[in-house]
Amino acid sequence: MQTDMNLVRIDLFLETIGAIIAFAISHYANSAFKTTGQKRLSDLSTGFLVLSVSMFGRVIGTLYFFVLSVSGETASALTMRGAVIIAVEMLRIMSYILFAISTRRGVKEYENTSQLAILLAIPGLVSPTLEMVAIIVLLVVVLQSIMNYLSNRSRYALYVLLGFFFLLLSHIFLIFALDPTRGYLLSQIFQFLGLIALLFMLIKAGR
């Protein structure tokens, strides 16, 4: 049990690094938006910013949960944990929706903003199985990335495809793993690998 706990605490380290990577990508996408005025870069930047906030939120929430648990406030800790899980998952789904919108193919600007508003409201409308929603939205993002890679065959597009594919795998492992602890760890590792692939793209494209 102690070993499991130690292994699971690796997730805080991976999550923190991942949040920093997501923030770096958000920052670059935002500066690209300022240079070009391309609205979809702004959506992409917001998506990575929201993802970064959700990851930092998860780290801080988990640490706070431990503090409450150690101080004997078990009921408060459990309430807190539930609130953090829902908030983090909703933010994550919002970020994936923004990825899906910004990486849509063949659209230069979206026609109206009401579509975005409806999509962003989805996490609030669905039931506890937020992970399934995340998987469905990420599936759309991955399909769009595949189409983008097939059309331009650039290695940068391949890194993005790998990044989103690993993020999708991270959610699949979390939900379908037979052993929850191992599933959780695999999920964290794939999430980390996904963000590393995106960081690779950022570094290579910046050369």
Residue closer to other proteins (CB basis): 14 or 168: 168
Shortest approach of other proteins to residue 151 CB, angstroms? 8
Site size toward other proteins, by CB under 8 A? 31
| Residue placing its CB nearer to other proteins in the complex, 81 or 104 | 104
Strand (E) or helix (H) holding 73: none
Measured CA to CA, the distance from residue 156 to residue 147 in angstroms comes to 14
User: Shortest distance, CB of residue 167 to other proteins, whole angstroms?
Assistant: 14
d(CA 178, CA 122): 28
Q: Which one of 53-61, 85-93, 111-119, 140-148 is the stretch in contact with other proteins (CB under 8 A)? A: 140-148
150 near other proteins, judged by CB under 8 A: no
**Binding region for other proteins (CB under 8 A) out of 54-62, 86-94, 143-151, 183-191:** 143-151
Least CB distance to other proteins at residue 178 (A): 35
* Residues with Cβ within 8 Å of residue 94, at least 6 apart in sequence: 47, 50, 120, 123
Closer residue to other proteins, CB minimum distance, 178 or 207: 207
The DSSP secondary structure of 136-167, one letter per residue, reads HHHHHHHHHHHHHHHHH--HHHHHHHHHHHHH
Instruction: Find the binder of other proteins among 62, 95, 145, 170 (CB under 8 A).
Output: 145
Rounded Cα distance between 46 and 30, Å, is 8
- Asked if residue 89 lies in contact with residue 98, where contact means CB atoms within 8 angstroms, the answer is no
Q: Which two tokens stand for residue 47?
A: 């998506």
Stretch that binds other proteins, among 10-18, 26-34, 67-75, 124-132 (CB under 8 A): 26-34
Distance from C-alpha of 100 to C-alpha of 140, rounded to nearest angstrom: 7
**Is the Cβ–Cβ distance between 97 and 139 less than 8 Å?**
no
Q: Is 160 in the site for other proteins (CB under 8 A)?
A: yes
Which residues of the chain form contacts with other proteins (CB under 8 A)?
A: 28-29, 32, 35-38, 40-41, 44, 102-105, 108, 144-145, 147-148, 151-152, 154, 156-157, 159-160, 201-202, 205-207
